[in-house]
Amino acid sequence: MADAYSGLTRAYDELFPVNPRTIAYLGRAGLAPGARILDVGCASGAHPRAFAAAGYAAEGIDPSEAMIRAAREAAAGSAGGGSGAPSFKIAGMLDLARLYPGGSWDAVTCLGNTLPHLRGPAEAAEFLSQVRAVLSPGGFLVLQFLNYRKILAEKPSNLPRLETRDWIFERSYRYGRGYVEFNTRLSDREGRILSEGTVRLSPLRFETVVELAESRSFRAAALEAGWDGEPFDPDSSTLAVLRLSLPA
């Protein structure tokens, strides 16, 4: 997964800016100032930086060395490298138990359709087990991922093209048996292709994730279509925002 996205490092923050409603969502979910929060699959670190700026003790992990290098540089530049700056580690989604003692985090986030990069329900189950182990009692996990029930029903071949001041990002899908192939191309405004990548995604349906989580002592505290609490419709919502809580 790391190699498929490393070529996007310099463009990532511009292509995928943090939605400020994400921070407000954490507050509504009960995450107190100073709480410890881990962002899994943090890419170039924009979310951990935003979490730290909001007063949380934040860390991010990602398997891409290039992304983590950029995340550390940006954090040092924005926070002066002080005690309030987020920290970062090069690590994958299934490295949590190796990295952190039990109860290390009050909240864990896994955003931007990171979850489907796991290889099917078995790895998703292992990830949920590891998150449960590193969360404190009463802690929660926030998952943001695409609604694959809708995607598999409609089978779109091309996703909306993203254009910013500096970049053009094109994305397409190809469907296989039990997987979705995600193809990307990053170009500059002069049309020069800077990066191309392909990664296989596991089209995990929200009901599968909820079932796996509930069998690991999580409670589905909220399933919504966005950060403002929009109702989730299995047949029409593009995104799922799922909050899974542990008992106190």
Q: What's residue 84's pLDDT?
A: 83
DSSP string, 12-76: HHHHSPPPHHHHHHHHHTT--TT-EEEEET-TTSHHHHHHHHTT-EEEEEES-HHHHHHHHHHHH
The reply to whether 161 and 69 lie within a common domain is no
pLDDT of residue 224: 98
Whole-number Cα distances in Å, 178 to 100, 152, 203, 245: 32, 10, 7, 29
Q: Say which CATH number the domain at 158 has.
A: 2.20.25
Pairing of strands 57-62, 36-40: parallel
In this prediction, residue 154 carries a pLDDT of: 97
Do 6 and 112 lie in one domain? The reply is yes
pLDDT digits (tens, 9 = 90+) for 49-85: 999 999 999 999 999 999 999 999 999 976 544 458 9
- Domain match, 215 and 196 both: no
Asked if residue 175 and residue 82 are part of one domain, the reply reads no
Question: How distant, in Å, are the alpha carbons of 33, 129, 203, 236 from that of 23?
Answer: 11, 25, 27, 25
Quick one: 57 and 90 in the same domain? yes
Judged against a pLDDT cut of 60, whether residue 2 lies above it is answered with: no
Residues ≥6 apart with Cβ < 8 Å to 136? 36, 103, 104, 105, 106
Do 158 and 176 lie in one domain? The reply is yes
Residue 200 CA to residue 180 CA, distance in Å, equals 6
**pTM of model > 0.85:** yes
pLDDT averaged over every residue in the chain: 95
Strands 162-163 and 135-146: unpaired
Do both 18 and 122 map to the same domain?
Answer: yes
Give the pLDDT score at 29. 97
Percent of the chain with pLDDT over 70: 96
What's the domain range around 168? 150-201
Q: How many structural domains compose the chain?
A: 2
CATH of the domain at 87: 3.40.50.150
Mean pLDDT calculated for residue range 117-121: 97
Tell me if 64 sits within 8 A of 94, measured CB to CB.
no
Same domain assignment for residues 48 and 79: yes
**3 has a pLDDT exceeding 80:** no
Are residues 116 and 157 part of one domain? no
